[in-house]
Amino acid sequence: MAVILDGAGNVSINGSLAPPDTVPVVTGSADLTKKVRIEADGLTTNTTRVITIPDADVTLAAGTAASTSNKLSAFAATSSSELAGVISDETGSGLLVFGTSPTVTTPSLIGATTPSVALTDGATVATNAALSNYFRLTTTQNFTLSNPTNPSDGQRVVWEIIQDGTGSRVMTLGNAFALGTDITAATLTTTASKRDFITAVYNSTAAKWYLIGFVKGY
C-alpha cells in the first residue's frame, strides 16, 4: 500500500487498507498488551463475510459463536428446566419427556382420541394393551380372549366383538378377567353380523381385569 501526496496537497492511497489477519486491529486502552485480531483464513476463497454490529452494547460469551440459522445442537447441552426458563408460554412444571411410554403426572388431554386396533382372529385372541384402549375383532370361530399383555394400572379397555356372516361364535374369557354380581357372564350375541361391547378395568395389585360393562346386539 502506498500513500501519495501530489503537488496540490491531495492525498491518495494506492492499495488495500485491510491489514492481514495476523495483525491485531484493536488494543486495550489501558493495557496495550491486550489485543484483538480477526482470523479470516477459514473463509472460502473469493468470499467476503460481513459482521454487522447492532446499535447496542454487546458482550461476547466464551465459546463458539452461532448463527441464527444454526440448530440448537450448536450450543452446549441444555436441561429441560433451563429450556423452560427461556420459553414464555409453557404450562405445568417438571421435566420434558421424550421417547416411548413416558410418565406424565395428571395430564389434561383435551380432545384426545384413542385409535382402534384390529385384533387377529384365531382360537386364542391376544390383546396388547399398550397399543390402544379400544380393540375390534370379527370372529369366525369359537375363541378365548386371552389375558391382555402390557396393561397399566387403572387402564380401561373396550373390546368390540363382531360375529361373522355365520354367527353363533362362542367366547371364553382368560383367567385374569373377573366378573361381579351385576355382570355374571359374558355370553356373546349369536346372531350373524351383530356386535357386542365389553369394557374392563385393570387393577395391577390384583392382576385382574374387572368387567364393568357388557352390552349386546348392535
In a domain, 80, yes or no: no
**Please, what sign has the CA dihedral across residues 190, 195, 199, 204?**
positive
The pLDDT assigned to 172 comes to 98
Query: Would you state the cell numbers that stand for residue 74, as one nine-digit string?
Result: 450448536
In a domain, 73, yes or no: no
In a domain, 1, yes or no: no
Could you tell me whether strands 2-5 and 11-14 are parallel, antiparallel, or unpaired per DSSP bridges?
Answer: antiparallel
In a domain, 55, yes or no: no
pLDDT confidence bin for 3, thresholds 50/70/90 = low
Closest by CA to 196, choosing from 158, 143, 166, is: 158
How far is the C-alpha of 65 from the C-alpha of 1, rounded, in Å? 33
In a domain, 45, yes or no: no
Q: Which tens digits make up the pLDDT trace of 89-111?
A: 767 777 777 777 777 777 777 77
The pLDDT assigned to 62 comes to 72
In a domain, 24, yes or no: no
How far is the C-alpha of 80 from the C-alpha of 2, rounded, in Å? 58
The pLDDT assigned to 55 comes to 83
In a domain, 2, yes or no: no
Instruction: Find the largest Cα–Cα distance for the chain.
Output: 118
How far is the C-alpha of 172 from the C-alpha of 186, rounded, in Å? 8
In a domain, 129, yes or no: yes
Segments forming the whole domain that contains residue 160:
117-215
| Whole-structure pTM value | 0.56
Total of domains in the chain: 1
Q: Which tens digits make up the pLDDT trace of 148-201?
A: 999 999 999 999 999 999 999 999 999 999 999 999 999 999 999 999 999 999
